[in-house]
A = this chain, B = another copy of it.
Amino acid sequence: MDFRDRSLPDGINPMNFPAKLWRLVNNPLNEGISWDIHGEVILIDQHLFEKQILSPRANTSPDAFKTTNFSSFVRQLNLYGFKKVDQPIKQLDTLQDIINL
């Protein structure tokens, strides 16, 4: 039988942007970046993200970036096909919210 770590698909360089983004968004300690309730959209709180991920002091993590500029991070998102969503996805806490979607 064939068991192996499927935390990342094959062929993805673990130090490149997509892999870092994957780890960052899946780490619940990173409050500045998370999945929306449907797991289809990445939610980013710019202020928290800058403070927790981009600030020079946060540079101990292997997932840190060399840039400290939020705009450069967004440039990377765009280069990898991410687009800003027109209407921000709200946090859906209740069934009623989902019905009203």
Which residues of A are at the interface with B, using a C-beta cutoff of 8 A?
56, 59, 66-67
Number of copies: 2
Q: Which residues of B contact A67 (CB under 8 A)?
A: 66
Which B residues are in CB contact (< 8 Å) with A66? 66-67
Closest B residue, CB atoms, query A60: B56
A59: chain B residues at CB < 8 Å are: 56
- Closest 3 pairs between A and B when the two form their complex, measured CB to CB: A66-B66, A56-B59, A66-B67
Which chain B positions have C-beta within 8 A of A56?
A: 59
- Closest chain-B Cβ to A31's Cβ sits at a distance in Å of 25
How many Å from the CB of A30 to the closest CB on chain B?
A: 22
Q: In the complex, what residue of chain B is closest to A66 when comparing beta carbons?
A: B66
In the bound complex, how far is the Cα of B56 from the Cα of A67, in angstroms?
14
Shortest beta-carbon distance, A90 to chain B, in Å? 37
Q: How far apart are the CA atoms of A67 and B66 in the complex, in Å?
A: 8
